A and B are shown apart, each in its own frame.
Chain A
């Protein structure tokens, strides 16, 4: 599953970050590394970008970039 697909409010764990090196590196520097818990907070009014919560802070990123982040849902 990719980050943009997780249900709103649910917590998932990052398993891998794919895509071009430039994008990947930026995302990982911001704390989106394998093992980190992430939560989808909301989407912008037109559905893009999305707002996620990672490491206790909020981050906006575009859906195209979020599709490169592979996650597994945490059980409730």
Chain B
């Protein structure tokens, strides 16, 4: 949104220019539902300048004859004394201090009718700033059901601002809300001294004024709220909580929910992911067949199309993860999950909210890192982002499978258990252990935090709203494609160029493997002579201590775009047809039969284990780095992430290989 000069705002007639209206309120007060009800599909998401907090802007038609107003959905806040980044942004926007954002013409304060006293705390602070304020009383239907009778007129008179009851789901009260907003703006414009009169200072921050404010609110509420006698029986929410946060059932239900989500991201997503992959493979082949061979065809078929496909392939997982997360958030269960796990997570130096991002990272770190937004404390959030890539994601599986199938198939330990399963489990455990250790180190060094209070509202359970969940998913998927997509695409093209240049002498090379044996030889020659191939050979002395030769070096280089590409690269280097499933018998045989110049086998079981350890510990994923760049808003953290994980992977792999040799393995 571009900035509108302040002077112009003051002189223009308020009713002919588009108005700017902010929606503020406590978290869980029904702010998002009201915003969605007022704007419908006419909304978009932008970032606040310089920070990662998003702002949602929508169009709201207050009256048919007026241009639609810009409605700004601010992050939830409890008071103008901002503690978290979200709250600071909301406060600055409300007080007209935010950069590139004009002061709103009016503020709609969303107040939960079932929780008047605490919600009016923020409302009363905003009323004191002398901005045109209208209170939207949400959850009015629930208040009615709880037999709370609120004298809306009396409440408005005591507060000095209009109060409009609304039920967002049924669009009840939205017309009256529009009328009230127009009325307060017109009233404010008619006061000539309005702009200069506005209070722009911080509200006083001493404890006594806070207590006085609460006492004043209690008096106001006592005068306008008639509540039934203290009901003896527990609320529905408390009764549900008897099971969901029960000592034994609580963790059991949580485990089931987590399993369901994990299952969904892991297996439900695999079919749509496969379809997306196929579509892009077919597209690549079509381009290759229809364009004259050369750099352009190679760039499109080997760089651009796989690059775009490599981004879009994550969409099903992101879609499913955010479907579950927004349903859990909207229903109120997420807060319970945090309540249940906070103690365990804290012993790891994290907090309860880190559970969901870390678990989803077992499927894919990209949606997992995006899910860290629910962690309020910035240092806790950063720690979670920096350890999420240790969770063994689905892209590592093809590599593990290839190594296990090549070197450890058919072997059993302790009679019945397959050695492959034991190795696979150990790899997952290695990742988790690394995450715990690194989290501990980070929290005791560069991300050491002063103790911040853990105060979290446990909102009443509600049925998740289809509109809210739908909007949340659309927003996440759209942002992912748009922002991360551009970076990933650029890097894919770069990596393609490294493998495609300089052109091999016969000029007919293709960077991707085909079934044709002659083409395979050409492709192998091309990659050997390319920059990536040269880099692989230059790398050889460096990676020799890990047990890797230069061919594996090329694979490692290409795997930094995405882990599973090592399989297609190895296929090209060894001149066998690529099989996307990684179960290609020819590749298995090629690896087993590969020889070094001195005649010794290039691959041994120990090399296989060393490579798998490297893959557990290294952050070989451009998508992850792009998303970390986006979520932390700087290149510093993604660079730190890739470097420290690379060092760890190198050391881990070397210890494995050299240690294994000392113990007499080969």
**Which residues from chain A sit less than 8 Å from chain B, CB to CB?**
20, 22-31, 33-36, 41-42, 44-49, 51, 55-62, 64-65
Contacts and interface: CB of A to CB of B under 8 A. Distances in A.
A57 B118 contact: yes
Interface string B416-451: 000000000000000000000000000000000011
Given A22-B83, A41-B238, A61 B454 contact: yes
B271 interface: no
B455 A26 contact: yes
Interface stretch (B178-186, B207-215, B319-327, B520-528): B207-215
B457 A48 contact: no
Interface in B442-477: 450-459
Contacts of B457: 30, 57-60
Contact of B251 (A26, A29, A45, A55): A45
Given A57-B118, A61-B456, 12 more contacts: A20-B451, A28-B207, A29-B79, A31-B214, A36-B214, A45-B247, A49-B339, A49-B342, A49-B454, A55-B115, A56-B117, A60-B339
A20 B453 CA distance: 10
Given A34-B211, A58-B458, A25 B205 contact: yes
Contact of B210 (A23, A33, A56, A61): A33
Which among B81, B121, B248 has the greatest number of chain A C-beta atoms within 10 A?
A: B121
A46 B245 CA distance: 11
Which among B118, B246, B343, B453 has the greatest number of chain A C-beta atoms within 10 A?
A: B453
A48 B205 CA distance: 30
A54 B306 CA distance: 55
Nearest to B335: A60
Contacts of A58: 237, 457-459
B78 interface: yes
Given A25-B207, A60-B339, A65 B118 contact: no
Given A51-B339, A65-B453, A45 B250 contact: yes
Contact of B453 (A55, A57, A61): A61
Contacts of B210: 25, 28-29, 33
A31 to B, nearest CB: 5
Contacts of B481: none
Interface in B228-258: 237-238, 241, 245-248, 250-251
Contacts of B81: 25, 29
A58 B168 CA distance: 23
A48 B78 contact: no
Which among A23, A44, A46, A59 has the greatest number of chain B C-beta atoms within 10 A?
A: A44
Contacts of A22: 83, 450, 452-453
B658 interface: no
24 contacts: A22-B452, A27-B453, A27-B455, A31-B117, A44-B340, A44-B342, A45-B246, A45-B250, A49-B339, A49-B343, A49-B454, A51-B458, A56-B114, A56-B117, A57-B118, A60-B335, A60-B338, A60-B339, A60-B454, A60-B455, A60-B457, A64-B451, A65-B453, A65-B455
B340 A45 contact: yes
Query: Which 10 pairs across A and B sit closest by C-beta, in order of nearness?
Result: A58-B458, A46-B343, A23-B453, A31-B118, A29-B79, A60-B456, A33-B214, A55-B117, A45-B247, A62-B454
Contacts of A51: 241, 245, 339, 458
B211 A33 contact: yes
B211 A31 contact: no
Interface of B: 78-79, 81, 83, 114-115, 117-118, 121, 205, 207, 210-211, 214-215, 237-238, 241, 245-248, 250-251, 335, 338-340, 342-344, 450-459
B29 to A, nearest CB: 11
Contact of A30 (B118, B245, B248, B450): B118
B251 to A, nearest CB: 6
B90 to A, nearest CB: 14
Nearest to B352: A49
A71 B339 CA distance: 23
A22 B83 CA distance: 9
A5 B408 CA distance: 57
A49 B79 CA distance: 23
A61 B117 CA distance: 20
A65 B343 contact: no
Contacts of B118: 30-31, 55, 57
B343 A44 contact: yes
Contacts of A64: 451
Nearest to B347: A46
A24 B207 contact: yes
A26 B453 contact: yes
A65 B453 CA distance: 7
Contacts of A48: 342-343
A25 B457 CA distance: 16
A50 to B, nearest CB: 9
Nearest to B213: A33
A27 B340 CA distance: 21
A58 B335 CA distance: 11
A29 B343 contact: no
A31 B215 CA distance: 10
Contacts of A35: 215
Contacts of B344: 46
B342 A62 contact: yes
A75 to B, nearest CB: 15
A8 to B, nearest CB: 12
A5 to B, nearest CB: 18
A33 B121 CA distance: 12
A59 B455 contact: yes
Nearest to B248: A45
B448 to A, nearest CB: 16
Contacts of A23: 451-453
B455 A30 contact: yes
A24 B207 CA distance: 9
A60 B83 CA distance: 18
A44 B205 contact: no
B85 to A, nearest CB: 15
B33 to A, nearest CB: 18
B222 to A, nearest CB: 13
Contacts of A65: 453-455
